[in-house]
Amino acid sequence: MLRREDWLPLARKLDWDYSYVREEEVFPEVISGRPWLPHSEWKDWEESFKTSYREYVDNQYEKDMAVYAVRDAVGRIENVEKLSAPWINSLKVHSAALPLAEFTGVIGNLRGARFGRDSAWRTMATFGALDEYRHTQIPLLLFHHLVKFDPQFDWTHKFYHTNNWFAVAARHFFDELTVGQNAIEFHIATNVILETGFTNLQFVGLASLARESSDHMFERMVTSIQTDEARHAQIGHPVLQTVMKHDPEYVQYLVDKWFWRNWRIFSILTGLSIDYLTALDQRPYSFKEFMEEWIIDQFLRTLDEFGLKKPWYWDTVMDELDIYHHMIYASAYSYRATLWFNFVIPGPAERKWLRQKYPRYWDEMDAVWEQTSERWRAVGPGASNELAVHGTVLPTFCDLCQLPLSAGTPRKNSAKVLLYENRKYIFCSEPCQWIFLHEPERYANHKDVVKRVLSGEAPAQLPNLLTEYFMLSPDTWGKDVHSGDYEWLRDLKTTTA
Amino acid sequence: MSIPLYGFLQGDTVGLVILAEEDDTLQALAQKLQVAASLRVAYRDQVQVVYNDQTMDPAMTVAQAGLQPLDRFDVVAG
């Protein structure tokens, strides 16, 4: 094995002069990305880690051994049984959303490893692909034995293979981000926006929540993953820097588009975990507080560093911090059988905490929870009454993000209908419509769940939709953790005003 | 023929697909949406239907109002 100082100049920075093909043929714009620039513009591409293969393997081996040691010590079913019920359901969300999304990251990085425009970039992307493969395998391994404990953990592997509405939305996002993307857009969108920003929510925010929840296995797993992310996320910055010199308007578009698309998915994935699926006494902060400290500030610093502007819809994001994930959670609770994890109703203490953290719109949300609680009170607790406290008609979904039309506020939903080439589309928000209109050829033919039902592709009756299309069963579909049996529900008045 | 519409009830957290009949009055349409959203929003006796930013006559039918498949309508406190 070569020593680091011998390997670096020999292998890591090794570019070819082509004699019988043109550079444009080796790196076609359609897959390398735009703007297409000759290698002379990329030759100074550099990142700070300069890892050798030997170092990579040694480090990864040590990290894997540390994860396995924690699994052996605290990853048994009896350890999981001690966790709070809301947190166990948070685990089901992340164990499903994470591993195969990471696998699509393997594909994106391999595209960079072949079509990245400089050899050092390609070398780092090769390590990035290996990282993402590790991030696929570790959660699949750690969560597999929990299927014996709870069949909903089967969705760790199953989730992306279903047409569950949230899987449709997550696939729509990750397929565009990683699988169907050119190398330049992939590395800017994934490394600069997702990994430098939003995966902090997943891997720093959730690690902290896991620690508070005494879930040391999950804490160690996501912390270990984050160390890889911190390294391969470095690929994106020099890519962005070079593109900025030649086409700053395009970079601004990519930043605007991908910040929004990330915001949509991660506000749900993490917002629900922090503000609802973590026991109240184990919440170190609200989702909004974490976003402000870890995502917003850092993102604005990155924009400054590169001379970029805030996205045009910035005020909408700031507004949604107070309300969007609350609207999604309340909607999802009332359609919980369409998902693969269980829910809790926030009781008076939780609602008091939520009111303190989110005073701006909480009156409107409190009314929704009061009404839902009232239904449980009327029908009485018990598993047999689950579907009496459940939505009956089809909810609606956005034609861009594929998520429920739950944006704006309860007072005024921000959904917008668009007639485009004789077809009607509906978007949850102005930014989703704006993204659609920038690249309609990419999005126009994708059907959301409602249009699949209306065209006969998916069953219209809810029980058939759940079992035949969403691939759920009475064992696995989402329920109220307590079957409506909350001590506080027996009281007559629960409002927190 | 049933017409699928996107219905938004003021106070609700999500839009719902409402199947309307051409001869449903807008008052009946509003009631369908209120019933469909009743798990989350308390029933109101006084509501108005808003379509294309216009408050509509509740006695008008869906066909008379010109509602087309996949249009948005809102039901607001009135």
Q: Give the pLDDT confidence score for residue A423 in this predicted structure.
A: 96
pTM here is 0.95
Tell me how close the Cα of A436 comes to any Cα of chain B, in angstroms: 18
Whether B77 and chain A come into contact, CB under 8 Å, resolves to no
**Residue contact A327–B13, C-beta within 8 A:** yes
pLDDT-based confidence at A2, cuts 50/70/90? confident
Q: Examine the predicted complex and report whether its ipTM is higher than 0.95.
A: yes
User: How many domains in chain B?
Assistant: 1
**Residue contact B72–A426, C-beta within 8 A:** yes
**Residue contact B70–A406, C-beta within 8 A:** no
> For A63-67, A164-168, B70-74, which range has the lowest pLDDT when averaged over its residues?
A63-67
Q: In 10 A of CB A267, how many CB atoms?
A: 23
Q: How many CB pairs under 8 A join A and B?
A: 88
Q: Give the pLDDT confidence score for residue A496 in this predicted structure.
A: 53
Q: Give the pLDDT confidence score for residue A493 in this predicted structure.
A: 54
Q: In 10 A of CB A460, how many CB atoms?
A: 12
Q: Which residues pair with B76 in a beta bridge?
A: B48
Q: Do B75 and B38 contact (CB within 8 A), yes or no?
A: no
Task: Map chain B to HEC letters.
Answer: CEEEEEEEECCCCCCEEEEEECCCEHHHHHHHHHHHCCCCCCCCCCEEEEECCEECCCCCEHHHHCCCCCCEEEEEEC
d(CA A27, CA A82): 53
Residues of A contacting chain B (CB within 8 angstroms): 326-328, 330-331, 334, 364-365, 367-368, 371-372, 375, 389-396, 404-406, 410-413, 415, 417, 424, 426, 450, 453-454
**Residue contact B8–A415, C-beta within 8 A:** yes
Which of A328, A396, A413 faces B17 most closely, judged by CB atoms?
A: A396
**Residue contact A368–B40, C-beta within 8 A:** yes
- Quick one: average pLDDT of A125-153? 94
**How, if at all, do strands B47-51 and B72-77 pair?**
antiparallel
- Distances from the Cα of B10 to the Cαs of A40, A309, A328, B48, in angstroms? 58, 35, 16, 10
d(CA A290, CA A22): 49
pLDDT-based confidence at B64, cuts 50/70/90? very high
pLDDT digit string (tens) for A45-84?
A: 998 888 888 889 999 999 999 988 988 888 888 899 999 9
When the pLDDT of each residue in chain B is averaged and rounded to a whole number, the result is: 97
- Whether the pLDDT of residue A494 is over 60: the answer is no
Whether B8 and chain A come into contact, CB under 8 Å, resolves to yes
When the pLDDT of each residue in chain A is averaged and rounded to a whole number, the result is: 94
Q: What domain range includes position B32?
A: 2-77
**Residue contact B40–A393, C-beta within 8 A:** no
- Quick one: average pLDDT of B1-12? 96
Percent of chain A with pLDDT over 70: 99
Whether B31 and chain A come into contact, CB under 8 Å, resolves to no
- Name the residue type at position A99: P
> For A82-86, A224-228, A471-475, which range has the lowest pLDDT when averaged over its residues?
A224-228
**Residue contact B12–A404, C-beta within 8 A:** no
Stronger pLDDT, A479 or A67, i.e. the higher one: A479
Q: What is the CATH number of the domain that holds B25?
A: 3.10.20.270
- Non-local CB neighbours of A445 within 8 Å, separated by 6+ positions: none
pLDDT digit string (tens) for A277-328?
A: 999 999 989 999 999 988 898 899 989 999 999 999 999 999 999 999 999 9
Helix axes A119-144, A85-97, angle to 10 degrees: 140
Q: Which residue has the tokens 């953990």?
A: A153
> For A137-151, B2-16, B60-74, which range has the lowest pLDDT when averaged over its residues?
A137-151
**Residue contact B15–A413, C-beta within 8 A:** yes
Which of B11, B40, B69 faces A372 most closely, judged by CB atoms?
A: B40
- Tell which of A324, A326, A363, A368 to mutate to test the B interface (max B CBs under 10 Å): A368
Q: Do A376 and A203 contact (CB within 8 A), yes or no?
A: no
- Quick one: average pLDDT of A383-395? 96
pLDDT digit string (tens) for A318-332?
A: 999 999 999 999 999
Q: Give the pLDDT confidence score for residue A492 in this predicted structure.
A: 59
Residue A250, Cβ density class (10 Å: 0-12 exposed, 13-18 middle, ≥19 buried): middle
